[in-house]
Amino acid sequence: MVDDRADETEGQHANTSRRTFLKATGAATATAGVGTGAVSAASEDREGKEGHTDIEAMLSELTLEQKVGQMTQVDVGTFDPDSTEIPDSFGVETLGEYFSELELGSIISGGASPPTFDAEETVMGINALQEYNLENSEHSIPFLWGVDALHGNTLLAGSTSFPQRINMGATRDIETIEDAARHTADSAAAMGAHWTFAPTTDLQRDPRWGRFYEGITEDPTYLGEVSKARVRGLESNDRLCSTVKHFGAYSIPENGNDRAHARTSMRDLRTSLLPPYRTALEAEPKTVMVNSGAVNGKPAHASEWLLTQMLRERYGFDGLVVSDYDDFYRMLSNHDYTDSFRRAVKEGLNAGVDMYMIGNGGEAPGPAEFIETTVSLVEDGEISMECLDESVRRVLELKAELGLFEEPTVDPSEIHSVLGGAQEESERLAEESMVLLKNEDALPLSGDENVLLTGPGYDPVLDIENRFLIRHGGWTLGWQGVQEGAPTEGGPRPRGETITEAVEGSLDGELTHVPTDFRAQPYNPETSDANGDFGFTDEQEEEVREAAGSADAVVVILGEGPHNEGFGDRDELALDPAQRELVAAIEEEAPDTPVVGVVLAGSPRGGAETFDSLDAVVFAGQPGSDGGRAVAGTLLGENNPSGKLAFNWPESVGKVPNNYDAYPPLDDQEPLYAFGHGLSYTDFEYSDLSVAPGSVSDPASTPTVTASVDVENTGDEAGEHIVEVYNTQSFGSVLQPNRRLLGYERVELGSGESATVELDLDLSALEVVPGDVPGILPKVVEAGEYELSVGEETTALTVEDAGSITDDRPAIGFDPDADGDDYSAVVEFLRGLGR
C-alpha cells in the first residue's frame, strides 16, 4: 500500500456484551477450521497457561497500557519482526516491538495486499510473526490478522477473483453469492487471516463516488439480503470473522467525493440507509466497521447515536466495533471537526468504537500515541474503566471465539487445496452478471465471423497486455487493483483467462486483436478523477481501420481503469475521449458492420454519445477471474445473458442523483437504462399475475405474501430469466417511492416452455416513516392499496391496517417511551443548557 494513503487522512458504551464467551472453561474444542496439525512451539508452551482462556482472568492481568494495546490495530507491510521500517512517530523501533512493547491486539494487512502475494510465504509469514508475538509479549495473547478479502481472497497470486459487488448485484442469485463468500472464507482462513473487512453494506446510490463498484444495489431490501448471505458465507469458517461496514450512511457523500459529508434526513436514514445494515446484522457478524464520513454534521466515529444507541441498543449488535483507517485522526485531518486528537479519541471510544485501526504513518498518530492518549483519558476519568474493559473484553472474546488461543497458527499445506478454487461459482456469477443493455440484432455472433477485437488493454510503457486490471478492479492483489494499478510484467495475477484468449478459443472464424493504449494511474490524489489514462495512437488507428474494413463483426472493449476510494471518484460518466475516437473510427470505416461494445467498469460508464454508435452493448462490470469466459460466452451465445441492473443508469452525470426509488416528480429524470433492465437472446412473456393473500389485515403478522405469475419463453433460445415484482403505485401519508422491488426469482426455460413462478414478497420493503417532516414516528406499512407489477402485468394488494414489520419504535432520541409526547432527549438537552 502506498504511504500517501495515510496522509489524507457522549455517552458511554458500557453495556454488557451478550455474547457468551465460547468455551470459557478452556475446553480445547476443534473450532479451528484449518490447520489442526499446526500447533506451534509457542502454543505448546501455552498449554500450561490455562488462565489464558479465561477472559476475566486475562483482563485482570493486563495493565491499562496493555489493555489499550489490545484495542489497537496497525497496518504492516512485512512479516519481519526485526524490520525497522516503522514510521518515526509510531513509538517503536522494530515491528517486533509492536508485540514485545505495546502488546498490540491486531494487525491489518490492508488494501488486499499482504507483505507478499505468494501463498506459502504468506502463511509462513503470519505463522512466524504470531509465534514471535506469543513468545515475546508478556501475556502471549494471539493477534488478529485482518485483511480486505472483498470479492474472493484476492490477496494471493492465483486466487479466484469473484465478480465485483457491482456484478453480484446484477445476478439476483443470493445462493451463489453465499457460496462464493464461503470459498473466500476458507481461502482467507487457510492463509492465516482471522478477519475480513466484508461485506460492504452501503447503499449504491451515487455513481460519482469511487466506491460505487463495491455496492451491490441501490435497493435497501435486496442489499440487506445479499449482505446477510455474505455474512453467513464469510463466517461459515470458524476461523474467520466478517465485518458489516461502513456503519452507517457512508455511501452518500453530498458532493460525490469519498469521505465527504452526507446530508440526509431522519426519514431517509430510517427508510433506506440504515435498514440494509440491520438486515445484515441478523446473521450475527462478529464485527462492524464505522463510516469514515460524517452524517448530518456529525463524524460517524463520534456518533453515540449511531454506534451505541442505534447499532447496539436498537439493532442488538453485541460484537466488536472497529474504526476505519486512521479515522479518529480523520476527525482532524478530513472533517475539521476538532484540532485535538485527544478529543477525537475520547469521543470515538465513548461513542462505541472498540478497536482503532491505524494506517501506515504520514501525519496520523501511531499506536504509541493512541495508547498514551487513551491511558491518560482513562486516568483523568474522561473514559470510564468500565467502558474500556468492555472493549478489551470484546477483543479477547473474539479471539477466543475464533479458536486462536487453542490454535494460534495454521497448517501451511491447507492453502494449496483452496487457492484458485470455486471456479464453478465464479463462472456462474460472472455469466449471470452480464447485462445486455442494447441489441439491434448484432448479438449473438454465430462464431463463424472474422472478428476484430479492440479497445484498451495495452500498456505502452511496459509493453504488456493489461486488460486484466479493468476486469478485476480494486481490492485485487492491491488496494487500487493489481499491484496498485501499476503491474509488473510477470507480476502476480489472480487466476483467470483473458477475454482475448476466451474469444479466440470459442471462435471458428479469424480473430484480429488490436489492443489500444491504457495506463492505469497509480495512486495520486492530485489526479483523483483519472480512472485511467487511455490512448489511441495513429498506428493503432491504422490497424483498427484496416481490420474493421474487412471484419464481419467488431467487438470493442470500453470502460474505466481500476480504482478505489477517493482516488476513484469521477466527475463524469462519459467514456474517455480516446475510447470515443476509437468507436467513431470504427463507425466511419465500417458503417454496415455490426459493432458490439463491452463495458468493463465499476460504474455506469458511457452514455448515448457512444452507445448510439454501437449495435449492441454488454455491461460486463468487473467480472473477475472468469470474466473472460463469461464475456466470450455472451458474445457467442453460449451464455444467454440474464443479468439485470441493480441501479439506474443515468443519462449523464448531470442527472445524478437518479435513483429508481426516488420520490416523485421524476420529470426529466428518465434514466438511460432503468433498474431491472437487461435483455436476453430470447423473449419472455408474462400472464396471470396474482397475489395471495390479496388482502392483509396486519402486515406485522403477515410480513410476506406470495405472488404468482406465468412466464413463457416465446423466443427461439433457451434462457434464464429473473422475474421481478415491483410495487409501482400507492398512496399514503407521505410521498411513496417511484418503484420498490418486492421479490425476484431466477427461472430457466427452454424455447416454448412456460412455468408458473411463485415469489415471496417481503412487505417490509413497503415500510415508510409516516408523519410530518422530522420523520421520527415508528415505521409502518400504511393502510391502502398497493399496485404490484411484473412487466406490464399488474394486480393489487390491499393492506387493511397499518403495521410495523421491522421497527415499531420511534426514532431514537426523540421518544424513548414511545408514548407519543415524551421528547426526553430534547428535555435533557435543555436542562443541560440550564433552561
Please tell me whether residue 195 binds ligand BGC under the rule CB under 6 A: no
Q: Which residue lies nearer to ligand BGC by CB, 74 or 388?
A: 74
Please tell me whether residue 145 binds ligand BGC under the rule CB under 6 A: no
In degrees and rounded to multiples of 5, residue 755 shows phi and psi of: -155, 150
Q: Which residue lies nearer to ligand BGC by CB, 79 or 814?
A: 79
The answer to whether the Cα torsion of 341, 346, 350, 353 is positive or negative is positive
Closest separation in Å from C-beta 148 to ligand BGC: 5
d(CA 151, CA 425): 12
- Residue 829, SS3 per DSSP: helix
Burial class (CB in 10 A: 0-12, 13-18, 19+), 237: buried
Closest separation in Å from C-beta 194 to ligand BGC: 14
Candidate list 225, 324, 347, 807; residue touching ligand BGC; CB under 6 A: 324
Closest separation in Å from C-beta 252 to ligand BGC: 15
Contact 355, 391 (CB under 8 A): yes
Contact 688, 709 (CB under 8 A): yes
Q: Which residue lies nearer to ligand BGC by CB, 525 or 664?
A: 525
Please tell me whether residue 744 binds ligand BGC under the rule CB under 6 A: no
Residue window 235-254: x/- pattern of binding to ligand BGC, with contact defined by CB under 6 A:
----------x---------
Contact 209, 249 (CB under 8 A): no
Closest separation in Å from C-beta 828 to ligand BGC: 34
From the list 105-113, 701-709, 725-733, 768-776, the region that binds ligand BGC by CB under 6 A is 105-113
User: Bridge-partner residues for 786, per DSSP?
Assistant: 797
Q: Which residue lies nearer to ligand BGC by CB, 190 or 364?
A: 364
Closest separation in Å from C-beta 200 to ligand BGC: 7
Residues 511-570 that bind ligand BGC (CB under 6 A): 565
Please tell me whether residue 325 binds ligand BGC under the rule CB under 6 A: yes
- Helix and strand numbers, DSSP H then E, in the chain: 25, 26
Please tell me whether residue 197 binds ligand BGC under the rule CB under 6 A: yes
Closest separation in Å from C-beta 33 to ligand BGC: 22
Please tell me whether residue 328 binds ligand BGC under the rule CB under 6 A: no
Closest separation in Å from C-beta 625 to ligand BGC: 21
Which amino acid makes up residue 580? R
Q: Which residue lies nearer to ligand BGC by CB, 482 or 757?
A: 482
d(CA 115, CA 334): 28
Q: Which residue lies nearer to ligand BGC by CB, 468 or 479?
A: 479
d(CA 297, CA 680): 46
From the list 103-111, 201-209, 480-488, 670-678, the region that binds ligand BGC by CB under 6 A is 103-111
Closest separation in Å from C-beta 246 to ligand BGC: 6
Closest separation in Å from C-beta 155 to ligand BGC: 11
Nearest to 771 by CA among 817, 814, 742, 708: 814
Closest separation in Å from C-beta 5 to ligand BGC: 7
From the list 108-116, 171-179, 507-515, 627-635, the region that binds ligand BGC by CB under 6 A is 108-116
d(CA 618, CA 630): 11
Please tell me whether residue 110 binds ligand BGC under the rule CB under 6 A: yes
Q: Which residue lies nearer to ligand BGC by CB, 267 or 570?
A: 570
d(CA 437, CA 665): 26
Q: Which residue lies nearer to ligand BGC by CB, 32 or 244?
A: 244
Closest separation in Å from C-beta 322 to ligand BGC: 9
Please tell me whether residue 148 binds ligand BGC under the rule CB under 6 A: yes
Contact 128, 99 (CB under 8 A): no
Q: Residue 712: in which H helix or E strand, if any?
A: strand 704-713
Nearest to 781 by CA among 770, 766, 796: 766
Q: Which residue lies nearer to ligand BGC by CB, 214 or 238?
A: 214
Which cell goes with 55? 477472559
Closest separation in Å from C-beta 209 to ligand BGC: 12
SS (HEC) of 747-805:
EEECCCCEEEEEEEEEHHHHCECCCCCCCCCCCEECCEEEEEEECCEEEEEEECCCECC
From the list 106-114, 391-399, 546-554, 695-703, the region that binds ligand BGC by CB under 6 A is 106-114
From the list 107-115, 415-423, 673-681, 823-831, the region that binds ligand BGC by CB under 6 A is 107-115
d(CA 382, CA 372): 14
Q: In Å, how far are 91, 149, 354, 355, 689 from 324, measured between CA atoms? A: 21, 16, 11, 9, 47
Question: Nearest residue by C-beta to ligand BGC?
Answer: 110
Closest separation in Å from C-beta 192 to ligand BGC: 17
CB neighbour burial string for 729-753, b if at least 16 within 10 angstroms, e if fewer: ebebbbebbbbbbbbbbbbebeeee
**Residues near 557 by Cβ (< 8 Å), separated by ≥ 6?**
453, 454, 455, 456, 457, 467, 470, 499, 597, 598, 600
Closest separation in Å from C-beta 245 to ligand BGC: 6
- Residue 399, SS3 per DSSP: helix
Total residues contacting ligand BGC (rule CB under 6 A)? 10
CB count in 10 Å sphere of residue 50: 11
Q: Which residue lies nearer to ligand BGC by CB, 325 or 649?
A: 325
Q: Which residue lies nearer to ligand BGC by CB, 110 or 643?
A: 110
d(CA 184, CA 178): 10
Q: Which residue lies nearer to ligand BGC by CB, 117 or 197?
A: 197
Please tell me whether residue 292 binds ligand BGC under the rule CB under 6 A: yes
Q: Which residues bind ligand BGC (CB under 6 A)?
A: 108, 110-111, 148, 197, 245, 292, 324-325, 565
